[in-house]
Chain A
């Protein structure tokens, strides 16, 4: 009986269809597919492949900015008004042309809905109440965007290239609008864009299907791309080796090492704009001592972490700007140096060390790193107690400044250095009931003059000078800040050999399958 069952089963099993790319990944973070609301990594990757924006950048060199829907743009002499001319002949997936009316509507919509990512546009002084005066259509294919100060133009452009500024089709959303919701309740799970793929179907925690957009200027080689939600990494590996999926997106280092020996599988990787760090709460009197902050920077075995627990997943990186960003520093001055750390602790009056806790999200990799740090701290007499907890719980505690040490990671919101400087090097109000909660605030750190310098850097229109300002900010945080930065994330995917042009970019919205194909 088993034998007959077996044959009947193998008959129905086949490799993935030749015109379909099947990826296994973890997508339980997707809560919406509306560009005005999306802030999650998985969803931003879907938007990257299904929508277009005014501006884009070269994923090999993010400093090269170019137009996507915009053909050209000019900045007024006072630096406050940006005029965009759109490419003619661009179309939505529905076949209708993309006009300045659609672009203006999309930006009005994102600002007015005021969802989580809206501040990326809102930081330029755009609000629900003034956006209709600030962003205006000036011709069938022309519009102007007026910002409140003369910001560095690249900052404004990067933000207009962010997924929150994706262009949606006005006609479709107006049809689906209910009670003045800008079509939000509809678009959360539907699609109204112009990108290489159409988002066809999303079943939460199960599957998401993209289909070729026939009206896209350069039609995709593949007819569809399917994302399957497979939480368990070992299951992803089995499916990949068996050929039931083409790409496994979430393997652990041992599994990557194992599948890399498989002749049918290739490993692809790309550095991402996410940095890993320890946040030292300055409300803890020991951690508030400058010598202790510095000592802890000498008590992490950076290289060992990058070579073992985080192998394939990151490189040593100690500055707050990820590699590739304007002004990013790549020097890593700290190494594990127990003698030096002990000397610094003695200077701080803590010759025999001290006890401290660390809130640790209970994922295998974060726990692994935490244990490595625990053992090196112990060498200088610091007793580190790891408090494992769920990530949302750790975050709640962190945002209430109730931790001693928090082990976290921070991904940039957009490709401009301000995204990270704003959180690591600036803190406008260090009081307990402050409204904004940047990482500096969460660790109760008042960066003093660095806040003003961070604010000044966004106004510097000379790129050279601006880069220099960020270098100085990084140096100051590296020397004295309450952050032990230790790693920059690398994203790894295991891809079957017959797949080509599968691209991992510097941010998740740059992970691009538009030209992927199967041989």
Chain B
């Protein structure tokens, strides 16, 4: 958390905060890069095989090993990587042959789209449910939220995804199947942001938009359900904590309506820790839910990194990890800012 200077000028405080943020970001990324890089070099997988395959003759194997710089000392390899990374060159992915940045620019938006929709669903349903469960503690609704949450924690997402497809896609036909958009529509728009819903809407391709929407809604609901399970449980416990505070009793004694007491006073205070919970849950989804992405053939970041890792495609793994690191730091910053907005004590 960032403490304000209090008496210093506002500008100085802002500058200090910005500097602090940049330092945090830089250290996090450097640390991540170092750890990922060295782990990547000690895993018992030969990255040369990932490129040349198993059958390549020895001279081809040796040449590629040299090209990758694998014959140099580790520290030197890392220095070379960093030097290039600073200029924005994260190398090429072995598996897709594209520059890693290009790949991430296409995989990350896919995950972002899904995670954002999932988190929205989780918050819009999860927060009110958690509040209700806290207010009506021990009632039917409380039990219901408890069971819902428990199921969300314990049912494998993989299974739930397949069941969802079986029921809503195969049997009922309410939603579209795995994939981001039907091939018929996929050439109707030009990818700009690579967020399909946004691209199609901005280009007025409404048929394509609805098709994309019918593809995303099921996996988004699934991720939404999992963040809902977590968010509603946490909301409930924060709310119970607040409802037991003296200021709530005071507000009730003042004769404020129960609605006002709960939603205006208690939730406002519970919101502060809740922001962190939501940000964390969002960040988790942004890492890319590998299993969901696999079941729904969603070309997102989770699948990209997992697939790269399994093939010792270390440039791709490093690039992906750095993006996730940056996302965590950014979300941390956003939740810090929101804290200060909601809680005057932190200003």
Given A6-B174, A9-B210, A205-B303, CB of A395 within 8 Å of CB of B54: yes
Check B214–A12 contact: CB distance below 8 A.
Answer: yes
Partner of B174, one of A2, A206, A390: A2
Judge if A31 is at the interface, Cβ distance under 8 Å.
Answer: yes
What's the tally of chain B residues with a CB closer than 8 Å to chain A? 58
A435 to chain B, nearest CB (A): 4
Partner of A235, one of B63, B177, B183, B210: B177
Check B295–A235 contact: CB distance below 8 A.
Answer: yes
Given A6-B172, A204-B103, A395-B49, CB of A22 within 8 Å of CB of B183: yes
Q: Which positions 49-64 of chain B face chain A at CB distance < 8 Å?
A: 49-60, 63
Partner of A231, one of B57, B169, B177, B294: B294
Q: Which positions 104-129 of chain A face chain B at CB distance < 8 Å?
A: 114-119, 122
Given A229-B297, A232-B297, A235-B177, CB of A39 within 8 Å of CB of B97: no
Q: How far is the CA of A122 from the CA of B106 in the complex (A)?
A: 39
Check A31–B94 contact: CB distance below 8 A.
Answer: yes
A10 to chain B, nearest CB (A): 5
* Chain A residues near B304 (CB-CB < 8 A): 205
Check B46–A239 contact: CB distance below 8 A.
Answer: no
Q: Which positions 31-48 of chain A face chain B at CB distance < 8 Å?
A: 31-32, 39-40
Judge if A399 is at the interface, Cβ distance under 8 Å.
Answer: yes
Given A12-B210, A14-B184, CB of A396 within 8 Å of CB of B177: no
Q: How far is the CA of A121 from the CA of B139 in the complex (A)?
A: 77
Chain A's interface size range is 35 or more
Judge if B98 is at the interface, Cβ distance under 8 Å.
Answer: yes
* Chain B residues near A205 (CB-CB < 8 A): 95-96, 299, 303-304, 307
Q: Which positions 28-84 of chain B face chain A at CB distance < 8 Å?
A: 43-46, 49-60, 63
Check A392–B45 contact: CB distance below 8 A.
Answer: yes
B38 to chain A, nearest CB (A): 17
Q: How far is the CA of A194 from the CA of B221 in the complex (A)?
A: 46
B323 to chain A, nearest CB (A): 17
Partner of A238, one of B57, B169, B303: B169
Q: How far is the CA of A234 from the CA of B178 in the complex (A)?
A: 10
Q: How far is the CA of A12 from the CA of B212 in the complex (A)?
A: 10
A17 to chain B, nearest CB (A): 6
* Chain A residues near B50 (CB-CB < 8 A): 392
Q: Which positions 1-29 of chain A face chain B at CB distance < 8 Å?
A: 2, 5-6, 8-10, 12-14, 16-17, 20, 22, 28
Which residue of chain B lies nearest to A22 when distances are taken between CB atoms in the complex? Answer: B183
Partner of A114, one of B59, B106, B183: B59
Judge if A228 is at the interface, Cβ distance under 8 Å.
Answer: yes
B106 to chain A, nearest CB (A): 8
Q: How far is the CA of A20 from the CA of B183 in the complex (A)?
A: 10
Check A239–B178 contact: CB distance below 8 A.
Answer: yes
B190 to chain A, nearest CB (A): 13
Given A204-B96, A229-B297, CB of A436 within 8 Å of CB of B176: no
* Chain A residues near B109 (CB-CB < 8 A): none
* Chain B residues near A13 (CB-CB < 8 A): 173, 176, 182, 211, 214
Check B60–A399 contact: CB distance below 8 A.
Answer: no
Check A436–B58 contact: CB distance below 8 A.
Answer: yes
Q: Which positions 168-200 of chain A face chain B at CB distance < 8 Å?
A: 188-189
Which residue of chain B lies nearest to A34 when distances are taken between CB atoms in the complex? Answer: B97
Partner of A232, one of B46, B172, B183, B295: B295
Check A238–B51 contact: CB distance below 8 A.
Answer: no
Partner of A31, one of B97, B207, B303, B312: B97
Judge if A351 is at the interface, Cβ distance under 8 Å.
Answer: no
**Most chain-A Cβ atoms within 10 A of its Cβ — which of B49, B50, B174, B296?**
B174
Check B166–A28 contact: CB distance below 8 A.
Answer: no
* Chain A residues near B106 (CB-CB < 8 A): 203
Judge if B333 is at the interface, Cβ distance under 8 Å.
Answer: no
Check A235–B96 contact: CB distance below 8 A.
Answer: no
Q: How far is the CA of A10 from the CA of B55 in the complex (A)?
A: 48
Judge if A384 is at the interface, Cβ distance under 8 Å.
Answer: no
Q: How far is the CA of A104 from the CA of B227 in the complex (A)?
A: 61
Which residue of chain A lies nearest to B57 when distances are taken between CB atoms in the complex? Answer: A119
A320 to chain B, nearest CB (A): 16
Partner of B169, one of A115, A242, A436: A242
Which residue of chain B lies nearest to A20 when distances are taken between CB atoms in the complex? Answer: B183
Judge if B162 is at the interface, Cβ distance under 8 Å.
Answer: yes
Judge if A397 is at the interface, Cβ distance under 8 Å.
Answer: yes
Check B310–A390 contact: CB distance below 8 A.
Answer: yes
Judge if A165 is at the interface, Cβ distance under 8 Å.
Answer: no
Partner of B183, one of A40, A204, A207: A207
Judge if B179 is at the interface, Cβ distance under 8 Å.
Answer: yes
* Chain B residues near A5 (CB-CB < 8 A): 174, 217
Check A399–B172 contact: CB distance below 8 A.
Answer: no
Judge if B186 is at the interface, Cβ distance under 8 Å.
Answer: yes
* Chain A residues near B53 (CB-CB < 8 A): 39-40, 116
Check A226–B183 contact: CB distance below 8 A.
Answer: yes
Q: How far is the CA of A2 from the CA of B172 in the complex (A)?
A: 12
Which residue of chain A lies nearest to B312 when distances are taken between CB atoms in the complex? Answer: A392
Judge if A244 is at the interface, Cβ distance under 8 Å.
Answer: yes
Partner of A399, one of B49, B169, B183, B299: B49
Check B46–A241 contact: CB distance below 8 A.
Answer: no
* Chain A residues near B43 (CB-CB < 8 A): 393
Q: Can you give 13 contacting A-B residue pairs, CB < 8 Å?
A: A13-B214, A16-B183, A115-B52, A117-B55, A119-B57, A204-B103, A205-B303, A226-B183, A228-B179, A234-B162, A235-B297, A392-B311, A437-B58
Q: A8-B214, A235-B297 are in contact. List 16 more A-B contacts (CB 8 A).
A: A8-B210, A13-B176, A13-B182, A13-B214, A17-B184, A39-B56, A119-B56, A189-B97, A204-B95, A205-B307, A207-B183, A235-B296, A239-B178, A244-B176, A390-B45, A399-B49
Give the interface of B toward A (CB within 8 A).
Answer: 43-46, 49-60, 63, 93-98, 103, 106, 162, 165-166, 169-170, 172-179, 182-184, 186, 207, 210-211, 214, 217, 294-297, 299, 303-304, 307, 310-312
